[in-house]
Amino acid sequence: MATADKISESYSTISNSNDFLINGRLQIVFDMETSDPDDFITLLFLLGHPMVHLKAVTIVPGTPDQIGFLRYVLDRFNRSDLSLGVFNMNAKPALSKFHLKIYENTSIKESTEALDGSNVLLKHCDEKTILICGGPLKNVAKAIQTGQFKLGRLVAQGGFAGDNIVPEEKRLSKFNGRITCPTFNLGADIKAAKIVLDYNGIKEKFFVSKNVCHGILYTKDTHKQLEKIKDKSQSLQEIYHVMSICFKKPGKNGKAFHDPLTACCAIDLSIGQWKDVQLYMDEKTKEWGSIISENPNIKIIVDYDHEKFLSTLFAYV
């Protein structure tokens, strides 16, 4: 697996990524949800990655069960100093049942110790920061609506590139023949998604879309690879623990890793192959697609390097 030094060697091929480095670490903020474990695995990954300085975390919606759980995890990593922001603390409980199994012998109390998510983003995002989004874009849109939000690079999980964008040999069979497709993170708050797409105060926007990320599986073979190096860092130990619980479910042979791929691409853009497109929503079907345009609004992923992905995912000092 790659060390931090090996990963940093690839930066000469990535446009302007050095702009986000301070003291050898990328300045990153993570916006997440907890309906699925892969956002949480991404948080564990970012908390211990040797190339990352995690500046803040924001949550959608940001309910007391989510806050309490994440506060407990931040304490485990000695990062209780980390700013935690939420969109709506009064929403219905949003922590999935799977999360409750992770530390099942520990009593984790609910908490309201969190700030407004948009204020956290306004404070910690700037032109030297990368924002990774693993859920609906509610916090980002709210920050944008203040008129003061500035960001160097957004790397978001969501969107879709169809047959008109992706070469035939790189298409997932499940999406053959499709130009548009539903995508949860954008469809969950269409207004927020459009606000983010239309906003010019974000220098670069990269979308890790389902035409690629739906082909990413953490398998039992991947788990065996991690087992050999899991003691190299706390993050790797915790990811191994979470995935061990996941594989206890009868018949479970793999877990989709949409958000970990997104975070790995944020660290090393050369993991992905990207195309400049206009990401749009079909107003009739409410499905999302991409077209080649003279005025592209994002770069969208059309393929990825599996070995580079794993090397970044399992990196240690």
Residue 14 pLDDT class (50, 70, 90 cuts) = very low
Looking from the CA of 168 toward its CB, the CA atoms found within 13 Å total 1
Nearest CA to 127 among 219, 204, 49?
A: 204
Domain layout of the chain by residue ranges:
4-313
C-alpha distances out from residue 272 to 35, 42, 208, 299, Å = 26, 17, 9, 10
pLDDT tens string 197-225: 999 999 999 999 999 999 999 999 999 99
Domain at 4-313: CATH code: 3.90.245.10
Return the axis-axis angle of helices 234-246 and 220-229, rounded to nearest 10°: 150
pLDDT above 70 for 15:
no
Residue 18 pLDDT class (50, 70, 90 cuts) = confident
CA–CA separation, 188 and 242 (whole Å): 26
pLDDT tens string 166-201: 999 999 999 999 999 999 999 999 999 999 999 999
CA–CA separation, 246 and 231 (whole Å): 19
pLDDT for the residue 2? 52
Instruction: Look up the pTM and report it.
Output: 0.95
Query: Which one-letter amino acid corresponds to residue 273?
Result: Q
Residue 101 pLDDT class (50, 70, 90 cuts) = very high
pLDDT for the residue 17? 80
Residue 36 · residue 96 · CB < 8 Å? yes
What beta strand segments (E) does 110-176 contain?
115-116, 130-133, 151-157
Residue 11 pLDDT class (50, 70, 90 cuts) = very low
